[in-house]
Amino acid sequence: MKKILICGGAGYIGSHMSHWLHDQGHRVTVLDNLSTGHRGAVRWGDFIHADLLDPASLDRALAGGHFDAVMHFCARSLVGESVTQPYAYYLNNVAGTLNLLEAMRRHDVGRIVFSSTAAVFGNPVADLIDEEHPKAPINPYGASKLMAERILADAAHAYGLRSVTLRYFNAAGALPDQGIGEAHLCETHLIPNVLKAALGDGPALKVFGDDYPTPDGTCVRDYVHVQDLAQAHALALDFMEASAGAHAFNLGNGQGFSVREVIATAAEVSGKPVPFEVAPRRDGDPASLVASSAKARAQLGWVPRWTELGPIIESAWRWHRDQPDWSRQGA
């Protein structure tokens, strides 16, 4: 049994992480400022209302906690917003991470699993993106995450901090039977928007560009189930037992699906038509992003269970169809 502090545990991926660790018998404490997360999503473990930009609140959260490790999901994560509000991204994702790392040092917590993103790579120069792929982010979001990755590497050298960075490709799916799923108040992601269109809930779906150099002209992405991401984080805890230093892994299924394929699968799974219109390209969207996760499989022992798009979307569909009231409201 480990004691884990989950920063951002009231959010989409953090809430699934809390469930996973609780289910495995670990002791979970969630820290969140509820700026985008939901109190209703904190269903396992204790809750501490704190903010990474308020070091005193971090001291209070960590004092006496005797945490074995921190998992850090707190971040601003919208590419488009990062372009128009870069200061907010560098402040939250870089300065906030530094505050957390400093607090961990003050309170003698020497291990962290850090959420990063495919956006650190920028425009891909290979069909499958592995960890050696050049890192050239094309927006402040990706740049802020890459800076935090660099800080972790420096901290390993200077302070002996052990870290695992996990770079998610497109997180998707839900755990509707546990009452958790994706619940962003301002939704920009494809699968939730497609499912809202199927439910007749929200504005008409826009397909951002159908003139990309892909088989059907729409963007291709690698969708990975949020439960498989949680599994990888748990494996990262075990990995750090034996591995000093800072390590990074890409997490995806290694298979790309186009926007049109997602729409067709959602229509099939839901039994409802998905009305959409083609709109201009969205700034900052690479044509295709598909992960090589060979390193995570080999070194973490990660074996994704959700390898088909249909079941991933089906889990998200059941969540969107039946979701609780709290998920539609402000935090």
Residues forming contacts to ligand UFG in the complex (CB under 6 A) are 77, 79, 117-119, 141, 170, 188-190, 193, 205-208, 219, 221, 259, 282, 285-286, 289
> Min. distance of Cβ 192 from ligand UFG in angstroms?
8
> Min. distance of Cβ 159 from ligand UFG in angstroms?
28
> Min. distance of Cβ 206 from ligand UFG in angstroms?
5
The residue among 48 and 129 lying less far from ligand UFG, judged by its C-beta, is: 129
Residue nearest to ligand UFG (CB): 219
> Measured on CA atoms in the order 74, 136, 131, 123, is the torsion positive or negative?
positive
> Min. distance of Cβ 146 from ligand UFG in angstroms?
11
Of the candidates 12, 89, 90, 141, the residue annotated as catalytic is 141
> Measured on CA atoms in the order 230, 231, 235, 237, is the torsion positive or negative?
positive
Cross-strand bridge partners of residue 117? 168
* Measured distance CA(103)–CA(7) in Å, rounded: 13
> Min. distance of Cβ 55 from ligand UFG in angstroms?
27
DSSP per-residue codes, 64-110: TT--SEEEE------HHHHHH-HHHHHIIIIIHHHHHHHHHHHTT--
The residue among 18 and 77 lying less far from ligand UFG, judged by its C-beta, is: 77
328 secondary structure, DSSP code: G
The residue among 207 and 312 lying less far from ligand UFG, judged by its C-beta, is: 207
H or E element that contains 263? helix 259-270
The residue among 176 and 256 lying less far from ligand UFG, judged by its C-beta, is: 256
The residue among 14 and 110 lying less far from ligand UFG, judged by its C-beta, is: 14
Would you call 191 exposed, middle or buried from its count of C-beta atoms within 10 A (0-12, 13-18, 19+)? buried
Distances (CA, A) of 118 to 112, 145, 167, 191, 289: 19, 10, 6, 17, 8
10 secondary structure, DSSP code: T
Residue 12 annotated to the active site: no
H or E element that contains 116? strand 111-117
Residues with a catalytic annotation lie at 141
